[in-house]
Structure 1
Amino acid sequence: MAGAVPSGSRLRADARRNSAQIRSAAIGAFRGQGLTVPLEEVAKAAGVSKATIFNRFGGRIGLIEAVIEEVVASELFAVIDHTRTIADAGERITYYLTAIRDLQYRQPAFNDVLLQTYPHSRQLMEICRVGSEANEEFIAAARASGALRPEFTAGDLHALVVDNALALKHGERPPRDVYDRRTMYLLDGIRGRSSAPGGR
């Protein structure tokens, strides 16, 4: 009937559709531009108003926490899990650092997590905690095996990835081949004697 008030089930269906559209738009926007992308852009891509994002998710933090597993956490945790399956210490640390730098290049949102751009998000801070513990685990094992310089610490690795995050977020983005070459320079600089060419 014209002018009839929508039923409760219709309203719930509309709300579910809006939420799904917002989630999809947020995943695309965060992957492409990082977690600081204007919410107006997310709303436009979802075909809703900015107010609808606040109604459905409570704002930016709620929206981030609704999709961060798909945007960042799943890939980071997959890297950590795969790293643990590599037996050789030199190969393990090479894979780990290369994969982390690859994530930084491909996923602007990962750099926002590393920089703790939204410290009030418990999920983002939990991702940071897991990543920090993995860094300590892999660096300690690599140092003990001689795969890394004995003076290289997990703190050094943290500083390097944060510096890289800042450069990618605020500086000029290098071509991929240049970026990968710099990754090799980094690895060559921190390897221990056992990982160097001709090392024992």
Structure 2
Amino acid sequence: MRTLTGAVPSQPRLRADARRNSEQIRSAAIGAFQGRGLTVPLEEVARAAGVSKATIFNRFGGRVGLIEAVIEEVVATELFAVIDHTRTIEDVGERIAYYLTALRDLQYRQPAVNDVLLQSYPHSRQLMEICRVGSEVNDELVAAGRESGALRAEFTASDLHALVVDNALALKHGGLPARDDYDRRTTYLLDGIRGHQPAADGR
């Protein structure tokens, strides 16, 4: 399983109470970020952890440091699992359908995914690394899809990126639609980008 490594420097050994505070903050941040995205006020994270906001800055240096301390659990593990499974699917059309369906599901369920995709915190090396990996798989899928005919010939990696970002913006700023409506629109999206396969009689 792919993991994010090397972006967060190791911390010196902490006293037992400081270590306990750090774990309480991490636990509170994971719960807040998973449910509401990475922009949750730090005051709320501090209150849930039973510490002051200043303690978050003392332990993690602020929001970006806190995000980097928990982004593995909040976003990276699940997103990278989708990417890794995508690359195991042999049929290109099925690969693309799985990836987009699974990614849109993550966008619907995990608001923090949309904050990552929108690069809300560009100073975070870990968030930008997640975006780099996402761009890499987008390029792979579109290249394979166009070559195989599974995607429309004129469809580009930039088009795929725009569709993903547009969805992130709609979910972040427009609110969640009903799940049935959302899934139906995923089907429309897939139908719209698929290549036009010739009929069996050649017409």
TM-score, structure 2 as length reference: 0.90
Q: Helix, strand or coil for the counterpart of 2:30? A: helix
- Equivalent in the alignment of 1:109: 112
2:168, 2:144 → 1: CA distance?
25
Is the contact between residue 148 and residue 190 of structure 1 (CA under 8 Å) also seen in structure 2?
yes
- Equivalent in the alignment of 2:4: none
Question: Higher relative contact order at CA 8 Å, sep ≥6: structure 1 or structure 2?
Answer: 2
- Equivalent in the alignment of 1:65: 68
Q: Helix, strand or coil for the counterpart of 2:108? A: helix
Is the contact between residue 193 and residue 199 of structure 1 (CA under 8 Å) also seen in structure 2?
no
- Which of 145, 150, 174 matches 2:148? 145
Q: CA deviation at 1:149?
A: 0.3
- Equivalent in the alignment of 1:74: 77
* Structure 1 residues 189 and 60, CA gap change in structure 2 (3 angstroms): same
Q: Helix, strand or coil for the counterpart of 1:99? A: helix
Q: Could you say which structure has the higher helix fraction?
A: 1
Q: CA deviation at 1:54?
A: 0.5
2:150, 2:101 → 1: CA distance?
15
Report whether the alignment pairs 1:12 with 2:15: yes
CA offsets per residue over residues 8-51 of structure 1, 9 Å max, x none? xxx70001110001000000100011000000110011111111
2:87, 2:129 → 1: CA distance?
20
Gaps of 5+ in 1: 1-10
Correspondence list, 1:33-112, <5 A: 33-112=36-115
1:45, 1:88 → 2: CA distance?
46
Is the contact between residue 147 and residue 192 of structure 1 (CA under 8 Å) also seen in structure 2?
yes
Question: Residue type of the partner of 1:60?
Answer: R
- Equivalent in the alignment of 1:21: 24
Q: When the two structures are aligned, how many residues end up with a matched partner?
A: 189
CA offsets per residue over residues 159-190 of structure 1, 9 Å max, x none? 01111101000013101111000000000000
Q: Helix, strand or coil for the counterpart of 2:15? A: helix
CA RMSD in angstroms comes to 1.6
Considering only CA atoms, is the larger Rg found in Structure 1 or Structure 2? 1
Q: Helix, strand or coil for the counterpart of 1:193? A: coil
* Structure 1 residues 100 and 199, CA gap change in structure 2 (3 angstroms): farther
Report whether the alignment pairs 1:130 with 2:130: no
Q: CA deviation at 1:139?
A: 1.1
